[in-house]
Chains A and B, each alone.
Chain A
Amino acid sequence: MRCLEAVIVNAIKAVEGERTSSSVYHLLKGKKSAQTIQDAHLYRLTKWFHTAPFLTLSSFETMMNGLIKKAYITGDLQRPFVTQEGVEKMNRLFQQTGSFNELSGWHFSGAASVFFSRMQLLVQVASHLAYSDSSYYPVTRDDRILEWVKRYLTYMPCSKKELSPRLYGELDCLFQQLQERPECIVIRFSGHKQTGKTIAQAAERLEMEETEYWFRFLHALHSMIKHITESGPRTPLLQAVLMDIHDPLTLTISARQTADYLKKTMTIDQIAASRRLKKATIEDHIVELALNDPSFSIRPFIEEEKEAAVIEAARRVSNRQLKPLKEKLPDHSYFQIRLVLAKESGKSV
């Protein structure tokens, strides 16, 4: 079993009987829809959110069908269930790879790719500065990253001379605490007289199956981000790399705008009208806010008693589908039910 297959089996296991396989696809792909975001929280799959952005629907379905053929999964794409054998194979694989404890797709996937590109370029620049080697091609052609590094060099909290040893010091310190092999990251760095490896080359060099390398790489990256955020003053250079990308509230930009309108005490209808969006869209944003922001109050949209009723009903209905809940709560709107469920699962993240 490949690592990506184990990740899929693991996610199918969590949603089996209640969701289709495409919900898992959207999860891994990181679809920013209210449904996918909510599912990620409900089924406690947030760490896998947006961790396989390279998937296409057809490659995903091919993989699913392969898993069904090998009898790791039964049923069909609409209603998949994981077999005992599937669980065993998955466990065996995760024993070998570790369980990616510090992977956190929901919190870090947005920041991780930018963070890595910046770090890669910064290491390259620092390396060439240290060796006084001024002519080289940058590892990225992304103008935003190139502009960023220029600004960084102007405002960084040390001199150009100190950059290399200090960056080494910070990376060394982080890598020692890392719950993943630091080679996964280092092998991708370019610098003076050595060029980084591609993902495929890195996997081959480290003798790993390619998707295993990919998840280990992400795991290492997320772990770095977590430690940088927590250890703050001990890694000032890397913290400055992360500073303006990392946002603890992973919100879609549109939901963030809705939050701004709400602060001006506008109603859902008013916001919808002034943003020329459907009411349902604004409601989706509010559900997203309830999921992510622990301080977000849902009170303007539902009274305390009605909230309690939803919580009570949800406890009795084990299935997390909305329809049976709605049948038990005829006076509630779907929006109100989703909102309460979102707030509740947001608490448990």
Chain B
Amino acid sequence: MNVENVLYERFGFAAFRPGQRETIESVLSGQHTLSMLPTGTGKSLCYQLPACLLPGTVLIVSPLLSLMQDQVEQLKMRGEKRVIALNSFLQYEEKTAALANLSRYKFIFLSPEMLQLPHVIGALCPLTVSLFVVDEAHCISQWGYDFRPDYRLLGDVRHELGSPLTLALTATATEKVRQDIIEGLHLTEVKKWVFSVNRPNIALQVEMLQNQVDKHRRLIELVTFFKKPGIVYFSGRKATEEAVIQLKQAGIIRAAYYHGGMEADDRLLIQHQFLKGELDVVCATSAFGMGINKENVRFVIHYHMPPQIESYLQEIGRAGRDGNPSIAVLLYAYGDESRHEFIAEMEFPDDGQVRQLAEYSVSPRDIQPSLSETQERFAVHYKREANKKSLNAAVYMKEKRDHLLARKAEKRNEMVTWILSTNCRRANYMHLFNEKPIKQPHCCDCCRSIDLSIYKSESVSRRSEEQLNWRNMLAQLLPGK
């Protein structure tokens, strides 16, 4: 059976997107594969399709719970029932039951920390693993963004599982990071597929503004003007809520906020509303967008700059998946980057917490003030590593922390430099990935000013929301025979 037939019959697509075919054929020919596909091109198909043709189990390592859940849901929606996600949020009984019956599943999603548990490895070993997928593989490198210390142990895990055929997927990895991925996973012969990070249908614009008041005014102008739907990114939870209030006052009623502080059920509803076209704009933190397959997002605005270029590319990449003209606007006011300095520090335990961990051996769960999930992951990993190497844990942790903070500062500066540069923005970001510049129309504000009217909303419909009547609503939901 050829891959096109499978694509059409199992997934309902007539054609592959750039890079999918190459990746899939490379995997099916039995080669370890590293594939860098631009955001928005459907990376998950690259393991879902081969899974239909390979006999055994497919393991997928994924760094984020929400990402895992999105992928599990998408598979289930397609009718694939043999899917499970193993993560630390499973109840003890659920986990035990799942581990006892692993052979029932075709797709097993795992967080990297689950792969550190001997009984999990023990349960995986008897399986025939036909494909070992490392999603968001850049997390393995401290040169990549979003470094996850526990990703570094995946190479050993691979060995324990008998070095199965491996597929590493990422959307944004520089040459250096790609090298780290290959070494980190202990891969020798690897087929590399690197596709351009460029998304030609997304025009780029940066606007310099004096202060937050100006930024708010401009945000409202832009959101009102642009064709919808769109996403606006902020770097704080409160800012998303405030912006929604302002947008609504300005007449953009179908606006909602989304951030990690909301209840899980509420977050899910906002996602669904957005997917179904019930919202014109979502004001969100970076928690929003991963794993959301929406084709027709027309604009992405950054109210705050992201902490690094890679995040920027990921986030603007949520626009224009249908290939139609879309626009990314970043609003910058002098000093915006300092927000990220503070946020970066919050990702690591402070000196007092390090001391409790290292010198008083307080369990990570009992540290005061309590550790966030990211802080705890850092603490657990580096304390163990220090012990293994017989080093002073406090000194080691602080060294690692300061090192990583310095890396983040570098990435931040790179982002600011990109913002302040007057050269072609597309050429600049492509250069970071060793790509040659290209000439294209509707490129960026530095090449030639962008004709915003292309992205203008056609209808200025001010929908007023209809009267609420519970019986009508209920009848609409639950019609008679």
Q: Give the distance in Å from the alpha carbon of A162 to the alpha carbon of B479 in the complex.
A: 10
Q: Give the distance in Å from the alpha carbon of A191 to the alpha carbon of B273 in the complex.
A: 11
- Which residues of A sit under 8 angstroms from B269, Cβ to Cβ? 139, 190, 195-198
Is B264 at the interface (CB under 8 A from chain A)? yes
- B73's contact among A137, A164, A186, A196, by CB below 8 Å, is which? A137
- B473's contact among A187, A200, A201, by CB below 8 Å, is which? A187
Give the segment of B33-41, B390-398, B463-471 that binds chain A: B463-471
Docked-complex contact A164 and B480, CB < 8 angstroms? yes
Is A168 at the interface (CB under 8 A from chain B)? yes
Most buried by B among A137, A139, A143: A137
Give the segment of A122-130, A264-272, A278-286 that binds chain B: A122-130
Is A172 at the interface (CB under 8 A from chain B)? yes
Q: Give the distance in Å from the alpha carbon of A205 to the alpha carbon of B77 in the complex.
A: 31
Against A, the Cβ 8 Å flags (1 = close, 0 = not) of B271-283 are 1110110100000
Is B478 at the interface (CB under 8 A from chain A)? yes
Q: Give the distance in Å from the alpha carbon of A185 to the alpha carbon of B468 in the complex.
A: 12
- Which residues of A sit under 8 angstroms from B256, Cβ to Cβ? 198, 201
- Which residues of A sit under 8 angstroms from B266, Cβ to Cβ? 198-200
Nearest CB of B to A88, in Å: 31
Given A135-B77, A139-B269, A140-B268; A191-B478 close (CB under 8 Å): yes
Is A323 at the interface (CB under 8 A from chain B)? no
- B480's contact among A168, A186, A191, by CB below 8 Å, is which? A168
Docked-complex contact A206 and B480, CB < 8 angstroms? no
Q: Give the distance in Å from the alpha carbon of A32 to the alpha carbon of B141 in the complex.
A: 47
Closest to B265 in A: A140
Q: Give the distance in Å from the alpha carbon of A165 to the alpha carbon of B477 in the complex.
A: 10
- Which size bracket describes the interface of A in this complex? 35 or more
- Which residues of B sit under 8 angstroms from A137, Cβ to Cβ? 73, 77, 268, 271-272, 275
Docked-complex contact B278 and A194, CB < 8 angstroms? yes
Is A141 at the interface (CB under 8 A from chain B)? yes
Closest to B480 in A: A165
Closest to A140 in B: B265
Docked-complex contact B272 and A182, CB < 8 angstroms? no
Is B69 at the interface (CB under 8 A from chain A)? yes
Docked-complex contact B273 and A195, CB < 8 angstroms? yes
Is B1 at the interface (CB under 8 A from chain A)? no
- Which residues of A sit under 8 angstroms from B465, Cβ to Cβ? 205
Most buried by A among B256, B266, B465, B478: B478
Is A151 at the interface (CB under 8 A from chain B)? no
Is B475 at the interface (CB under 8 A from chain A)? yes
Nearest CB of A to B278, in Å: 6
Q: Give the distance in Å from the alpha carbon of A177 to the alpha carbon of B256 in the complex.
A: 33
Given A143-B94, A195-B276; A130-B473 close (CB under 8 Å): no
Q: Give the distance in Å from the alpha carbon of A171 to the alpha carbon of B266 in the complex.
A: 23
Closest to A189 in B: B477
Most buried by A among B263, B278, B468: B468
Interface of B is mostly: helix
- Which residues of B sit under 8 angstroms from A172, Cβ to Cβ? 471, 474
Closest to B248 in A: A204
Most buried by A among B73, B256, B470, B476: B470
Is A192 at the interface (CB under 8 A from chain B)? yes
- Which residues of B sit under 8 angstroms from A131, Cβ to Cβ? 479
- Which residues of A sit under 8 angstroms from B265, Cβ to Cβ? 139-140, 198
Closest to B469 in A: A183
Docked-complex contact B481 and A192, CB < 8 angstroms? no
- Which residues of B sit under 8 angstroms from A196, Cβ to Cβ? 269
- Which residues of B sit under 8 angstroms from A201, Cβ to Cβ? 256
Nearest CB of A to B246, in Å: 14
Docked-complex contact B477 and A191, CB < 8 angstroms? yes
Is A161 at the interface (CB under 8 A from chain B)? yes
Docked-complex contact B478 and A171, CB < 8 angstroms? yes
Docked-complex contact A186 and B479, CB < 8 angstroms? no
- A195's contact among B272, B470, B473, by CB below 8 Å, is which? B272
Nearest CB of B to A42, in Å: 33
Is B270 at the interface (CB under 8 A from chain A)? yes
- Which residues of A sit under 8 angstroms from B272, Cβ to Cβ? 137, 139, 190, 195
Q: Give the distance in Å from the alpha carbon of A136 to the alpha carbon of B262 in the complex.
A: 22
- Which residues of A sit under 8 angstroms from B276, Cβ to Cβ? 193-195
- Which residues of B sit under 8 angstroms from A135, Cβ to Cβ? 77
Docked-complex contact A123 and B468, CB < 8 angstroms? no
Docked-complex contact B474 and A168, CB < 8 angstroms? yes
Nearest CB of A to B41, in Å: 22
Q: Give the distance in Å from the alpha carbon of A206 to the alpha carbon of B443 in the complex.
A: 45
- Which residues of B sit under 8 angstroms from A205, Cβ to Cβ? 465, 468
Q: Give the distance in Å from the alpha carbon of A123 to the alpha carbon of B270 in the complex.
A: 18
Is A302 at the interface (CB under 8 A from chain B)? no
Is A72 at the interface (CB under 8 A from chain B)? no
Nearest CB of B to A173, in Å: 11
Q: Give the distance in Å from the alpha carbon of A130 to the alpha carbon of B228 in the complex.
A: 31
Given A139-B272, A141-B268; A186-B474 close (CB under 8 Å): yes
Q: Give the distance in Å from the alpha carbon of A194 to the alpha carbon of B468 in the complex.
A: 14
Q: Give the distance in Å from the alpha carbon of A199 to the alpha carbon of B264 in the complex.
A: 12
Docked-complex contact B278 and A195, CB < 8 angstroms? yes
- Which residues of B sit under 8 angstroms from A181, Cβ to Cβ? 470
Is A175 at the interface (CB under 8 A from chain B)? yes
Docked-complex contact B473 and A141, CB < 8 angstroms? no
- Which residues of A sit under 8 angstroms from B477, Cβ to Cβ? 123, 127, 186, 189, 191-192, 194
- Which residues of A sit under 8 angstroms from B471, Cβ to Cβ? 172, 175
- Which residues of B sit under 8 angstroms from A165, Cβ to Cβ? 478-481
Q: Give the distance in Å from the alpha carbon of A205 to the alpha carbon of B467 in the complex.
A: 10
- A171's contact among B273, B474, B479, B481, by CB below 8 Å, is which? B474
- Which residues of A sit under 8 angstroms from B468, Cβ to Cβ? 183, 187, 205-206
Is A149 at the interface (CB under 8 A from chain B)? no
Is A167 at the interface (CB under 8 A from chain B)? yes
Q: Give the distance in Å from the alpha carbon of A82 to the alpha carbon of B73 in the complex.
A: 51
Other than A136-B77, A165-B481, A198-B262, give 20 A-B pairs with Cβ distance below 8 A.
Answer: A127-B477, A130-B478, A131-B479, A137-B73, A137-B275, A139-B268, A162-B481, A165-B480, A168-B478, A168-B480, A183-B470, A189-B477, A191-B477, A193-B276, A195-B269, A197-B269, A198-B270, A199-B266, A205-B468, A206-B468
| 14 A-B pairs with C-beta separation under 8 A | A137-B77, A137-B275, A140-B265, A140-B268, A141-B73, A141-B264, A143-B94, A168-B474, A185-B470, A186-B473, A191-B476, A194-B476, A195-B272, A198-B265
- Pick the 10 closest A-B CB pairs, nearest first: A168-B478, A191-B477, A198-B266, A182-B470, A165-B480, A186-B470, A164-B478, A195-B273, A195-B272, A183-B470
